[in-house]
Homo-oligomer: A and B are copies of this chain.
């Protein structure tokens, strides 16, 4: 039952309007330019750039990645060109493109987050900030900002106090109850939530008996983690009042639809870009096809329409 009526893919995420709900995830699409020959950024809902910090960071020693079943571990170590080079060398290429540019940012202290937000505020060509709170807090002995509601609140408050840009807070899955963190950063004023970041994982070379990553522990991404991500997005949309961006393991249009159906207003595609650089465009087309097949005209008609059976729902076996 396909028709040729035009369908609407545009979604509103609070202050942010996207022409379609398919964004690319930070750290998996460089600064947009790397894949531009294959994926014109302007076709995307938004581009989220690699996480930047005040000063350039050289990152972790190699090896930095390892493939696992249905996933990959990475410990890039937040390597990035730093704020200044980003503004001088990377942003100018993105600025003229008619695609929202979201800057993913992180710091070692609340103060660094605040400074970064201030420095990015009002820069032409930046349409939003995404706060990575999965980074170790140097003052808290390496515990991540995102695993403690109080620290997460402080980071987001600091960023919000210094910017007028829409603020997305990106949550880590490595917590007991992600809804507590979600509520804390909502109280701190985040405009949007995105989740999940990578799941902490590890692998060992049994011949050398050494870790596969020089950093020992890394972040697991890719289709292996999709069920975890989807569950967390579903938990968060039930308690949150702000729009949610779902990500984690999306490799197909069905995956993207699952996140939208549970209630995400948009999705980000990460690791799948490496496997199939054309995947974001395929998902965008696939969303249109799905709507037509279902006799619908607007992607918003499916967002949050999961039909849940009555009765109690437990977690755990």
Contact = CB atoms under 8 A, between A and B. Distances in A.
B71 A224 contact: yes
Given A142-B315, A261-B209, A234 B202 contact: yes
Contact of A223 (B69, B142, B199): B69
A87 interface: no
A215 B198 CA distance: 25
A312 B74 CA distance: 16
Residue of A210, A224, A254 most packed against chain B (CB within 10 A) = A224
Interface stretch (A29-37, A161-169, A300-308): A300-308
Contacts of A227: 68, 71, 73, 199, 201-203, 220
A216 B310 CA distance: 10
Interface in A120-143: 132, 134-136, 142
Interface stretch (A4-12, A170-178, A187-195): A170-178
Interface in A49-88: 68-71, 73-78
A218 B227 CA distance: 9
Contacts of A157: none
B258 A217 contact: no
A266 to B, nearest CB: 16
A208 interface: yes
Give the contact-size bracket for chain A: 35 or more
A74 B135 contact: no
B73 A70 contact: no
Nearest to A61: B309
A208 B317 contact: no
A38 interface: no
Contacts of A1: none
9 contacts: A68-B227, A70-B70, A70-B223, A77-B314, A78-B317, A202-B227, A217-B231, A217-B314, A220-B228
Given A144-B316, A176-B176, A218-B317, 14 more contacts: A68-B223, A68-B227, A69-B224, A136-B314, A200-B228, A200-B231, A200-B316, A201-B231, A202-B234, A203-B258, A206-B261, A216-B308, A217-B234, A223-B224
